Amino acid sequence: MNNTRSEMALRADGISKTYSSESGVIRVLNHINLELSKSDFVTISGPSGCGKSTLLMILGALQEPDEGTLEYDGVSPYKLNAKDRAQFRSTNIGFVFQDFNLVPYLNVRENILCPGIVNHSKDWGARSAELIESLGLSDRADHYPDQLSSGEKQRTALARALLVEPSIIFADEPTGNLDQANGQKVLEHLTVYANNGAIVMMATHDKEAFNVGNKHLQMAEGSVLTLT
Amino acid sequence: MGVTAVSVSVLSYIISLSVLSKSQMSFTDKMKRMNSDLIKEISDLENSIRKSMKGLGFNIHIYPEQQDLAEIYEQGYGEQTMPEEYVEKLANSKIVTVNHLLPRLTQMVKWAEKEQSVLLIGVRGEVPIAFRGENRKKALIDPVKIGDIVLGYELHNKYEIKLGDIIKFMGREFKVTATHPSRGTIDDITAWMALSTVQELLKKSGLINGILALECNCESIDRLGDIKKEIGQILPGTKIIEKESKALARAEARNKVKKTGEKQMQNFALSQKELIVSQSITATLFVLIITALSIGWIAYLTFSNVANRSVEIGILGAMGFGGSKLILLIISRATLMGVAGTLCALLLSFLAVPIFWGEQVFNDIFMNPSNLFILTCVPTLLACCAAWIPAVKGALKDPAVILRNE
Ligand SMILES: Nc1ncnc2c1ncn2[C@@H]1O[C@H](COP(=O)(O)OP(=O)(O)O)[C@@H](O)[C@H]1O
Ligand SMILES: [Mg+2]
């Protein structure tokens, strides 16, 4: 893709997160240390409830950890106020979720253009057209989410995540609700994006998807077992 | 969805207003019609009474104060006398209630020449009421000239006396100038003469024992009271009784009918008013309930969208929408929804209201500034308020928390 995108490294030190519920305090993440650099496609696997989503949220500057520091090339998003942190997300981070999370009253094109409302660094029209084209959504651009198939929904969500060319993409089980073929397409796009110099972090249950990455993170009960 | 909700509630509000306005309008119409009917009927009645009373007048007797009325009822006249000047006094006053004044001196005498009881009445032509001048009413009774006599039926029939005969009465000669047909009353044994002659015959010079006042006019209910008051001021020391009359009885009956009619109609109007008041209370309550329901419904629909909203807020937050931007976005969407829904409803009702309920109702609803305000602003404001809460809540939360809780 293009090379104007900032090329970042991510550093997480001693990230811990606990949730308290009626049944007691659950330590979801336990002193996670992580260092990623551009073109890393990290796939994360682990049993359900081991803390994959939580880790992605924290690394994605969506949820503050209890302990630990997070740094993107010298910027610590959790040291920013909420507004600046949102701004930081809008320029640097993209998200893809298992259940798409499209805005129901916006059509495909509008959904894709959504992050552009906050990020004014350029006119995103051409970029969105390019994404609609490359993700095979051309004849769906004016449709609304409830008129789309799961695959189309997820490709729309992916295009939305890619619009502002963030330096890092977090994908939480993006293929979980897709059939084999559609899942494959999403994985291909993510791979291409990582190969172009971004960091991609993807949590997945799927063995095949897990193998797509060039780094593999195995988690269990809030800890990193292996990072290969 | 939201647009429909706003639309439907605004529409239902307008419809309820229309139905109400219509029904209230027919109430007021009915009331107006009944009121004018009522007023017309009363005035008709009054007119007919006035017509029947007009020109009838009524008659009173004025007697000396010390006159025992029992004596009058017993023998048809009183023995007590009062000065003849009283009539002048009355005639020269500005009395408005009495039209004709007839002084008289009456006594039952024996017609010695015929061994016959005669009620002798001395009359003096009518005393003109001074201030009326030329406009005074036409004299009702012709006076009897000195030396003339007028005889009741029994007196001329029994003794075969003819008009123009010269007869002897109490030692004097009189010319018979009139003979009355039978009336079946004491008039039949009455003889009329000039007042001065009777005063001489009875040795009661300058005295009378009664004044007959004819065609008294007084439209008030208590006419006798009013006349008593007026005459009493001019002639203290007199007593006044009303002479029985058929016309009066009729007028009295009319008055009674009028009174009951008025009363009935008042009662009717009152009960109608009460009915309308209670109906308008019900109507107001109805509007209040519909309003509350409409507001409630908009609020409910908006809040029930909160789950959706939260996701939306979470996604937008994840994409970098910061607090105020997020709130602004949500609110503007709600505003748009409110405006669109309101416009839809207004458009529909602009078309439908005149067709179903007519121009009047349309004007009632849409030409009323407070109504217009309620119809245009409140739904939008409500939609905004309802969106405000989840927006602010969402903006304050970490997007992750929202996304995860879905
Ligand atoms: N808001 C929360 N409150 C309490 N517990 C939570 C909350 N969010 C997640 N958890 C718990 O944290 C654990 C990790 O969740 P998650 O990160 O979603 O795991 P994974 O994505 O690996 O399935 C789970 O046991 C889950 O029940
Ligand atoms: Mg998960």
- Domain ranges across chain A: 37-61+80-218
Whole-number Å distance between alpha carbons of A135 and B196: 140
pLDDT for position B53: 54
8 Å CB contact between A141 and A132: yes
8 Å CB contact between B76 and B243: no
Burial degree of B355 (CB within 10 A; 0-12, 13-18, 19+): exposed
Would you say how long chain B is, in residues?
Answer: 406
* B99 and B199 in a common domain: yes
pLDDT for position B394: 66
* B225 and B267 in a common domain: no
Which residue's CA lies nearest to atom 25 of ligand 1? A49
Residue B46 forms part of a structural domain: no
Q: How far is A215 from chain B (nearest CA, A)?
A: 25
Q: pLDDT (tens digit, 9 = 90+) per residue, A68-126? A: 999 998 899 999 887 788 888 888 999 998 888 888 878 899 889 888 877 777 888 88
CB contact under 8 A, A115 and B400: no
Whole-number Å distance between alpha carbons of A123 and A120: 7
Q: Which residue of A has its CA nearest to B315?
A: A101
Query: In a structure prediction context, what are the per-residue pLDDT tens digits for chain B, which is 406 residues long?
Result: 567 767 777 777 777 777 767 766 666 776 677 777 777 777 777 666 655 555 556 677 888 988 888 888 887 788 888 998 888 888 887 776 677 788 889 988 888 878 888 999 998 877 777 666 555 555 556 678 888 999 999 889 888 898 899 998 888 899 999 888 888 888 889 999 999 899 998 898 889 988 887 766 655 555 667 777 878 888 888 888 777 665 556 666 666 766 776 777 677 777 777 777 776 777 677 767 777 776 777 667 666 665 666 677 777 777 777 667 777 777 787 788 788 888 888 888 888 877 777 777 777 777 777 777 777 787 778 777 777 776 776 666 666 666 664 4
Q: Where in the sequence is the domain holding B74, given as residue range(s)?
A: 58-244
Contacts of B318 in chain A (CB under 8 A): 60, 62, 89, 95, 101
Q: pLDDT (tens digit, 9 = 90+) per residue, A13-28? A: 999 999 887 888 888 8
CATH for the stretch A37-61+80-218: 3.40.50.300
Domain boundary among B186, B221, B244: B244
* B163 and B72 in a common domain: yes
Residue B50 forms part of a structural domain: no
* B124 and B18 in a common domain: no
Sign of CA dihedral A147, A151, A155, A161: positive
Q: Is A91 on the interface with B (CB under 8 A)?
A: yes
Q: How far is A21 from chain B (nearest CA, A)?
A: 14
Amino acid residing at B145: K
Whole-number Å distance between alpha carbons of B228 and B239: 8
* ipTM score for this prediction: 0.71
The count of other CB atoms within 10 Å of the CB of residue B23 is 17
* Chains A–B, number of C-beta pairs less than 8 Å apart: 71
Would you say how long chain A is, in residues?
Answer: 228
Kindly calculate the radius of gyration of chain A based on its CA atoms and give it in whole angstroms.
17
Residues in contact with A126: Cβ distance below 8 Å, sequence separation at least 6, in sequence order: none
- Tokens of residue A126, six digits: 């051409």
Amino acid residing at A60: G
User: Which of A88, A111, A118 to mutate: most B Cβ within 10 Å?
Assistant: A118
Residue B234 forms part of a structural domain: yes
8 Å CB contact between B84 and B113: no
- Tokens of residue A116, six digits: 């552009």
* B63 and B158 in a common domain: yes
Amino acid residing at B76: G
* B313 and B230 in a common domain: no
Domain boundary among B244, B267, B292: B244
* B240 and B108 in a common domain: yes
Domain count of the fold of chain B: 2
User: Which of A55, A88, A100, A105 to mutate: most B Cβ within 10 Å?
Assistant: A105
Beta strands in B152-269 (DSSP E): 166-169, 172-179, 190-194, 207-208, 210-216, 238-242
In chain A the first and final C-alpha atoms are separated, in Å, by 27
Whole-number Å distance between alpha carbons of A218 and A224: 6
Q: Is A66 on the interface with B (CB under 8 A)?
A: no
What is the whole-number distance in angstroms between the Cα of residue A49 and the centre of ligand 2? 7
The answer to whether residue A3 scores a pLDDT higher than 50 is no
The answer to whether residue A200 scores a pLDDT higher than 70 is yes
Whole-number Å distance between alpha carbons of B336 and A120: 24
- 3 state SS of B6: helix
Residue B214 forms part of a structural domain: yes
* B317 and B341 in a common domain: yes
